Amino acid sequence: MAAVVLARGKDQRIKAGHLWVYASEIASVDEGAAPGDVVEVRDFRRRLLGRGTYNPASTLAVRIFTRHADEAVDRGLFERRIEEALAYRSRLFPAETTLRLIFSEGDHLPGLVVDRYGGFLCLQEVLAVLKERLEPAGIYERSDLSSRVREGLPPAEGILLGSVPEAIPVILDGLEFRVRLSEGQKTGFYLDQRLNRREIVPLSEGKRVLDAFCNTGGFGLYALKGGAASVVGVDISATSVLRATEQAALNGFAGRCEFRQANAFDFLHELDRSGEKFDLVVLDPPAFTKSARSVPQAWRGYKEINLRALRVLSPGGFLFTASCSFHLGAEDFLAMLREAAADSRRRVRLVALRGQSPDHPMLSGVPETRYLKFAILHCS
Ligand code: SAH
């Protein structure tokens, strides 16, 4: 097997548990290593560090699948890793059939993401083992992330197995959802916020709620379930607004909510000017930065929406605010919220700081697997 040999001193991260080898860390690559091959990763003394898949077209040149000298990267490895991922979830979510089954590095399967929606699976890479183990009625591939193109891989999307309905009916916490795998961003639904959405339910009774960046209405529907007097949802995507409206109607909430297509920045600005107040505000924007370089710019964006949200909160209101930018760390996120709170001249309490749902596990050696920050603020 061909080896990728790291430059001297570039093995520290891998030894500490990380699974990524960057092209810039490589001193030499044995002849014959072809794209997609399993290669050995060795330190500058040629001591074995692990085995992984090689992609010379990417800055992320090797993804390590095993560190054990006697473990091969073969079907058996995938079977063991998938079994482990399933066992982990059956402890945390017994009997749950809508969740993230496999979370890439977090499950020691770098590059593989699989979501389960009842009898259907959606993946962003494919493995035959899943078909056998779960016997799903259908598997849909969504390997269409922009990162794939950056790594020199063609985008791929479509049905891999069986048949997949356009809208998969799914029940979460007693709410009915219709998940459209082909249409949604990600794999159709944001499963990483599933436990955070529950936090809004007990605070919603009789309240006026603003769900900004609502997508298909996740947080808004939970607020309505909790008895919200009214929900206004805002998203820039017309399709998302349509689906949120449909899902609200499906759950019998049509009279208490309104979803609008708008730029949330403009919408918040307008509310701030008009003086209209809300008791609960949700901010769940897309990642404003995908690189360390543009963190300052992203910071300004996050601060702007959080400041405006604090200003439109009625006294005693709660803000539910998230960031899924890995490059804006938890401490940065809190610092940004402190600035927004100070500028708002409101007295702000941090009620809770949460993260992604545990079906998106964080691998201790790979900080990038911890990406979602979710804070609940109380505003006097
Ligand atoms: N809260 C949602 C997930 C939000 S995902 C849930 O619980 O499911 C982020 C959403 O922000 C996407 O639906 C995207 O269309 C929307 N979006 C992106 N930029 C926006 C903008 N400037 N204004 C409003 N919505 C925006």
Distance 244 CA to ligand 1 centre (A): 12
Residue 99 CB partners (closer than 8 Å, separation 6+): 89, 93, 115, 116, 191, 194, 357, 359
Q: Please tell me the predicted confidence (pLDDT) of residue 129.
A: 62
> What are the CB-based long-range contacts (under 8 Å, 24+) for 144-150?
150/58
Same topology, domains 3-66 and 75-164? Answer is no
Percentage of the chain modeled with pLDDT above 70: 96
Predicted pLDDT at 124 = 60
Residue 71: its pLDDT value, please?
95
Lowest mean pLDDT among 24-33, 47-56, 68-77, 130-139: 130-139
CA separation, residue 100 to residues 55, 74, 93, 167 (Å): 26, 23, 11, 18
Q: What tens digit of pLDDT does each residue of 105-152 get?
A: 999 999 888 999 988 887 765 555 677 667 788 888 887 777 777 777
Q: pLDDT value at position 313? A: 98
Give 162's pLDDT tier (boundaries 50, 70, 90): confident
What single letter denotes the amino acid at residue 75?
Answer: R
Task: Choose, from 214, 257, 324, 379, the residue flagged as catalytic.
Answer: 324
Chain segment 181-194, per-residue pLDDT in tens: 888 666 678 999 99
Angle ∠(175,140,323) on CA atoms, nearest 5: 55
Catalytic-residue membership of 324: yes
- Cα of 211 vs centre of ligand 1, distance in Å, is 10
Cα 246 to chain centroid, rounded: 24
Q: Ligand 1, closest atom to CA 237?
A: 15
pLDDT at 173 over 80: yes
- Tokens 């409206």 belong to 245
Residues 2-26 have pLDDT tens digits of 999 999 999 999 999 999 999 999 9
Superfamily of domain 190-379: Vaccinia Virus protein VP39 (3.40.50.150)
Domain boundaries of the chain, sorted by first residue: 3-66, 75-164, 190-379
**Structure tokens, 224:** 């309505």
Place of tokens 């109607």: 249
Rg for the chain (alpha carbons), in Å? 22
Q: Whose CA is nearest to atom 3 of ligand 1?
A: 215
Ligand 1, residues 194, 236, 261, 325: which to mutate, most atoms within 8 A of Cβ?
Answer: 236
- What is the CA(329)–ligand 1 centre distance, in A? 20
**Average pLDDT, integer, range 42-53:** 96
Topology at the third CATH level for domain 3-66: 2.30.130
Nearest CA to ligand 1 atom 13: 215
Q: How far apart are CA 60 and CA 39, in angstroms?
A: 14
User: Nearest CA to 357 among 193, 112, 198?
Assistant: 193
pLDDT tens digits along 215-269: 999 999 999 999 999 999 999 999 999 999 999 999 999 999 999 999 999 999 9
Task: Give me ligand 1 centre to Cα 130, in Å.
Answer: 31
Q: Which amino acid is at 132?
A: E
What residues contact residue 284 under an 8 Å CB cut-off, 6+ apart? 190, 193, 211, 212, 213, 214, 215, 218, 219, 320, 321, 322
The residues that bridge with 179 in the sheet, in sequence order, are 168
d(CA 250, CA 319): 27
Q: Which CATH number fits domain 75-164: 3.30.750.80, 3.10.150.10, 3.50.50.60, 3.40.50.2300?
A: 3.30.750.80
Written as one string, the DSSP assignment of 27-85 is EEE-TT--TT-EEEEE-TT--EEEEEEE-TTSSEEEEEEE--TT--SSHHHHHHHHHHH
Beta bridge partners, 64, equal: 52
Q: How far is the CA of 197 from the centre of ligand 1 (A)?
A: 15
Report whether pLDDT(339) > 90: yes
Please name the residue whose Cα sits nearest to atom 7 of ligand 1: 218
- Note the pLDDT of residue 297: 95
Q: DSSP characters for 267-298?
A: HHHHHHHHT--EEEEEE-PPPS-SSSTTHHHH
> Taking residues 290-319, what's their average pLDDT?
96
Residue type for 104, please?
S
Q: Which residues line ligand 1 (CB under 6 A)?
A: 190, 193, 213-216, 218-219, 234-237, 240, 263-265, 284-286
- Condensed to tens digits (0 to 9), the pLDDT of residues 193-219 reads 999 999 999 999 999 999 999 999 999
Mutate which of 191, 235, 356, 371 to test ligand 1's pocket (most atoms within 8 Å of Cβ)? 235
Determine the 3-state secondary structure of 23 from DSSP. helix
Cα(227)–Cα(206) distance, rounded to whole angstroms? 6
- For ligand 1, atom 16, name the residue with the nearest CA: 213
- Mean pLDDT, to the nearest integer, of 299-314? 98
Phi/psi at 332 (nearest 5 deg)? -65, -40
156 CA to middle of ligand 1, Å? Answer: 24
Res. 331 pLDDT band, cuts 50 70 90: very high
